Chain A
Amino acid sequence: KNEVEQSPQNLTAQEGEFITINCSYSVGISALHWLQQHPGGGIVSLFMLSSGKKKHGRLIATINIQEKHSSLHITASHPRDSAVYICAGETSGSRLTFGEGTQLTVNP
């Protein structure tokens, strides 16, 4: 069992839909990272959070430390949001443990 679990593995949505991707972790972490991997392969950091909620444009990330759970929300989804979204827990020494990723496809 991976220390960081994501769900769903695959998600297909229609343009404009509200999307939620969930991440649960079983170890103590200092921060939770959300990453986006484009179809071309590049990886971009979306959020890093230790508590509460962060918002950037149409993206919102939340974390509940007590429940060891984080969510990534995308409002008004668009086909250009299609990518793999990866959550990663950071432990000591800046070590990242990754989830398996969620493949998101947004259809026009």
Chain B
Amino acid sequence: DTAVSQTPKYLVTQMGNDKSIKCEQNLGHDTMYWYKQDSKKFLKIMFSYNNKELIINETVPNRFSPKSPDKAHLNLHINSLELGDSAVYFCASSWSIAGVPYEQYFGPGTRLTVT
């Protein structure tokens, strides 16, 4: 059983399109994250949800909108795709209790290519 899964694994689309990436975790965790890994392989947090509530919202264009229908799912919708959005997007999940750090479990990543 895959702990954190993402679909699709690869996504190739044209500039201006709208696309979504889905993430699901079956670990029972209460917190989920979206990270972006750029062409230089540098990872950066985008969003974090705890029990369906947005708790981290980094400086990300508002073309990116996360949605958490329940605590096992965190989807990422991107409007009006731009060339610079090409990257690998990773979903992750963990427990989160105030002041207590927990290991994060990562999905396999979604490679988005905007042409």
- Which residues of A approach B to under 8 Å, CB–CB? 30-31, 33, 35, 37, 41-45, 48, 50, 84, 86, 88, 90, 93-98, 100-101
Contacts and interface: CB of A to CB of B under 8 A. Distances in A.
A80 to B, nearest CB: 19
Interface residues of B, number: 27
Contacts of B99: 30
Interface of B: 31, 33, 35, 40-45, 48, 55-56, 88, 90, 92, 94, 96, 99, 101-106, 108-109, 111
Given A45-B103, A93-B48, A98 B42 contact: yes
A33 B104 contact: yes
A93 B53 CA distance: 12
Given A44-B106, A94-B48, A31 B101 contact: yes
Given A86-B43, A94-B33, 13 more contacts: A30-B99, A35-B106, A42-B108, A43-B92, A45-B104, A50-B101, A88-B43, A90-B101, A94-B96, A94-B101, A96-B43, A100-B40, A100-B42
